[in-house]
Structure 1
Amino acid sequence: MINKISKKNAGHYIWGGSCDGWRLVDEAERSIIHERMPAGMQESRHVHRRSRQFFFVLSGTMNIEIDGTEHILREQEGIDVPADIPHQVFNKSANDLEFLVISQPNTKGDRFPAE
């Protein structure tokens, strides 16, 4: 059965105290998450041993540090993060940041603090 998926019917969770995540696709071999990060928030620096991730900005501006280099992504821009590379997303702007995170395979059980 094929169903339409949106933030309205996707599984929702809160992370970092005030950030939202909606699991649009949650399969063993891939996940697609729509995330909202309020102004001034950041995630902890981490690494995925198996999962490759692609970040795509829907609205706002993303600062993302990948292996020591900071990149700035604006609306409709994305960046690929290979497995085993430390990274961290920041919202240094005054507005909400909304983005997609596409992971292959799924990151469940595959998130570790960066050394």
Structure 2
Amino acid sequence: MTKKISKETAEHYMWGGSCDGWHLVKGQELSVIHERMPAQTAEVRHYHERARQFFFVLSGQAVLEVEGVRHALGSQEGVEVPPGAAHQMKNEGEEAVEFLVISQPTTRGDRINEES
């Protein structure tokens, strides 16, 4: 069934203690999540065995580290992350960053955190 979705109507969850996520598309073959990271936050470095992801910044500034390469991302910029590539999204700035994470297939049950 096709229906309109927005951040205000999407399923919301918290992660990393202070970060927000909204499931815009939550399927087995495709996941689209709108995420918000406050200033000076980062996710745990990890990889996915099956899922290919695309991170796209909507507002703010972020750093997406992929296999040791830092990608500084501004508004309307993105990076694709292939399966098996260790990555970590970071907000090193003083303002919140909002971005989309598009995954195919879903990352549920496919995330492997790296040791610190």
TM-score range, shorter chain: over 0.9
Q: What is the CA-CA distance between 1:113 and the residue it aligns to? A: 1.2
Q: Which runs of 4+ in 1 moved over 2 A?
A: none
User: 1:29, 1:114 → 2: CA distance?
Assistant: 25
Alignment RMSD: 0.8
* TM-score normalized with structure 2 length: 0.97
Could you tell me which residue of structure 2 aligns to residue 49 of structure 1? 49
Structure 2 gap ranges (5+): none
- Specify every segment of 5 or more residues in structure 1 that has no aligned partner in the other structure, as ranges: none
- Report the equivalent of 2:111: 111
TM-score (structure 1 length as normaliser): 0.98
Alpha-carbon distance in structure 1 between the residues aligned to 2:16 and 2:113: 15
CA distance in 1, matches of 2:104, 2:90: 22
Q: Give the letter for the 1:73 counterpart.
A: L
Q: What percentage of aligned pairs have identical amino acids?
A: 57
Kindly state the Cα deviation for residue 76 of structure 1 after the two structures are TM-superposed: 0.3
Aligned residues: 115
Write the distance in 1 (CA, Å) between the matches of 2:8 and 2:72.
Answer: 29
SS at match of 1:53: strand
